[in-house]
Amino acid sequence: MDIYETVIKRRSIREFKDIPVPYDTLERCVNAARLAPTAGNRQLCEYIIVDDEQLLPQVLNAVDSWFGMPRPREGWSPGRRPKAYIVTLINTELEAARGISRTDTNYDVGMAVENMALIDLEQGLGSCVLTGIAQDKLRQVLNIPDKYEIAIMLALGFSDESPVLEIATNSVERWVDSKGVRHIPKRKLEDIMHRNKFPQRQG
């Protein structure tokens, strides 16, 4: 897959096959995150790969938002749960020492996580970015020291769903049809793209 194709194909995946994820594919994702652009090359993010079968259900328990709902409609169907997670952390000690604004740190996190999502897809997997996380619960389960802030968690596995892209008109509300297929409306290119100047304001 070339990069454009990978980017266009990427959809958030929340249903997974009951197949473990090879550790080296997860490591490649983190390596791709490591090399993402960072403001001032300050590199504040660190990552936890979670693939221990004992831990997976506990981590899932810390997920509060799943496709806009507190839990999937069908409950946590065991065979279809994420098979691994990568938690992106902000090292706040480094952040203070290296004098970076929180806005830039947040941009860094986004860049790193998108790298992971794309490399994950290129390796035949699927993923979903999660920020709806019960942070205290997750911190406890993974023994995350206080100096780290939990930013984003990526849920991963071999995809077992095919979300469908839709054209958003008035609404960007997503929906699930009677066959359980997720539909994801995106704004049209001409609605979001501007060229050169905006027209002169009147008055």
- Site residues for ligand FMN per CB under 6 A: 11-12, 65-67, 128-132, 163, 174, 184
Q: Cβ 8 to ligand FMN, closest distance in Å?
A: 10
Instruction: Find, among 82, 86, 78, 84, the residue nearest to 33 by Cα.
Output: 86
d(CA 96, CA 16): 39
Name the residue with the smallest CB distance to ligand FMN.
Answer: 132
Q: How many helices (H) and strands (E) does the chain have?
A: 7, 7
d(CA 50, CA 87): 8
Paired residues of 89 in beta bridges? 46, 150
Q: Which is nearer to ligand FMN, 74 or 146 (CB)?
A: 74
Q: Which is nearer to ligand FMN, 157 or 163 (CB)?
A: 163
Q: Cβ 145 to ligand FMN, closest distance in Å?
A: 23
Say which amino acid occupies 197.
K
Q: Which is nearer to ligand FMN, 17 or 107 (CB)?
A: 107
| Mutual angle of helices 23-34 and 102-122, in 10-degree steps | 140
Q: Which is nearer to ligand FMN, 36 or 129 (CB)?
A: 129
